[in-house]
Amino acid sequence: MRIADKNATRAILERHGFTFKKSFGQNFLTDTNILQKIVDTAEIDKNVNVIEIGPGIGALTEFLAENAAEVMAFEIDDRLVPILADTLRDFDNVQVINEDILKTDLQTRIKDFANPDLPIKVVANLPYYITTPILMHLIESKIPFAEFVVMMQKEVADRISAKPNTKAYGSLSIAVQYYMTAKVAFIVPRTVFVPAPNVDSAILKMTRREQALVEVEDVDFFFRVSKAAFVHRRKTLWNNLTSHFGKSEEIKAKLETALEAAELKPSVRGEALSISEFGKLADALLAAGIK
């Protein structure tokens, strides 16, 4: 019987006397068809190493271990470590690491794979309360992850994969799409979890680009500008830029110069700008002397 089978999940939780902690955002998936679909979406085979975050009682880990060369699962809740040792006892290609993924030394950890030269994919049911920090931490790390296939709140997945001129498009869309292509693979209803979350989820597939989507003078400044443009979504680009950089006559003159160079109207809203237009704007602002 699969770990994710509802009866098996219930029996495991009862046997170990496990109670859910809201602070860890724990929702365990109990649908084997969806788990198989995640593995298929991620195209996991014996030539791929996998990093999983928040394995819970090992429902997804079981499917990953059957298909991948090796699985490294990071679990912050030490109460789950002995449970995972029990549920995954038949697999010799799984390492469970009781650490916070945001604090662990991943560069060192991945050297512990039996074959660290294999492509590494991140496949996980991410804790909802900390999805974005985890994703950005991993994307911005120097580790060349080949792909991410991760579950998150549908709303967050929509924001990450959004295109310009849509309600969901914003600085998070830009931050991820600068490095990765992002596409919602399928929706996961809230009813297939124990306990059931308040919202539906989505599986988001993100593949690393061979090179960043746009070439910019200063990546950190580019992200700062894109964030500034969305602070007040209903305001114009001009109003958001002056709120961020200042409203002195000198700054305004430099902003006018930069917008003209980037061929952008002050009255446009941030959501109308493509990522390449944000790149032009950031470089034009630097050239105009704004930092």
User: Annotated binding site for S-adenosyl-L-methionine: which residue ranges?
Assistant: 27, 29, 54, 75, 100, 125
The residues near 74 (Cβ < 8 Å, ≥ 6 apart) are 51, 52, 53, 54, 55, 97, 99, 100, 101, 104
Q: Is residue 258 within 8 Å of residue 288, measured between CB atoms?
A: yes
The amino acid sitting at 21 is K
The number of angstroms, rounded, from the C-alpha of 65 to the middle of its chain's C-alpha atoms is 22
User: What is each CA distance from 289 to 130, 134, 253, 254, in whole angstroms?
Assistant: 36, 34, 11, 7
Query: What whole-number distance in Å separates Cα of residue 75 and Cα of residue 59?
Result: 13
The CA-to-CA distance between both ends of the chain, in Å, stands at 59
**Binding positions:** 27, 29, 54, 75, 100, 125
Which SS3 state, helix, strand or coil, does residue 203 take? strand
191/195 Cα distance (integer angstroms): 9
Q: How far is it, in rounded angstroms, from Cα 47 to Cα 58?
A: 21
Phi, psi at 141, each rounded to 5°: -70, 165
